[in-house]
Amino acid sequence: MTAGKRPAPEPATRVWQRMLSGRRLDLLDPSPLDIEIADIAHGLARVARWNGQTSGAHIFSVAQHTLLVEAVLREQTPRVDIRVRLAALLHDAPEYVIGDMISPFKAVLGGDYKAVEKRLLSAIHIRFGLPAVLSTEITQQIKDADRGAAYLEATQLAGFAQAEAKRLFGRDPSLPASTQTDYLTPWTAAKAEKRFLARFATLCI
């Protein structure tokens, strides 16, 4: 190095992701203004549940999972408010940025992952007219539906025995057979994205 010259500064660490819409979403301080439903649908349709360890010709995407969760919620609570249904559809929306990590790995990572996930979910809620933080009651309703969906996915797609799935995820939510056949047949990414957007449009009326 030439005497008297300072070394070049280290480049700043990038903490934002550029979306196909052109938005740049800051992971540490996400703005609702940088969130687009098209980006969410596109990303979730291409993120695999169960680390891809599912049967079928296609991955079982997070987009398809969220639709299944919303269907389970409707079955468990037929008169649930439409905004709660929207919250159920969006409950895993942060994964369009951070991906879907299986629960055991989330436990290994600890609090940092959860903090990023919570900030993203709050920004997503605000963007689409939901409370930044849901009530305990609504959170539990969605969690129950999520566990019901996980039971179905585990037993029908991920190779779990019913007894093991019941121990880990609770009881079978007993969806109608036609609904199970539809939602538990892995779709193409294009179909998952299209159906996610269609359901979102219905819930935002």
Phi/psi at 18 (5° precision) = -85, 130
Phi/psi at 5 (5° precision) = -95, 135
- pLDDT digits over 51-109, tens only? 999 999 999 999 999 999 999 999 999 999 999 999 999 999 999 998 877 666 666 66
Asked if pLDDT for residue 7 goes beyond 90, the answer is no
- pLDDT digits over 19-55, tens only? 999 999 998 899 999 999 999 999 999 999 999 999 9
In CATH, what number does 33-202 get? 1.10.3210.10
Give residue 15's pLDDT.
82
Give residue 23's pLDDT.
93
Give residue 6's pLDDT.
61
Residue 107 DSSP class: H
- pLDDT digits over 126-183, tens only? 999 999 999 999 999 999 999 999 999 999 999 999 999 999 999 999 999 999 999 9
**Residue spans per domain, the chain:** 33-202
Give residue 118's pLDDT.
93
Asked if pLDDT for residue 8 goes beyond 60, the answer is no
Phi/psi at 179 (5° precision) = -65, -45
Asked if pLDDT for residue 2 goes beyond 60, the answer is no
Give residue 205's pLDDT.
72
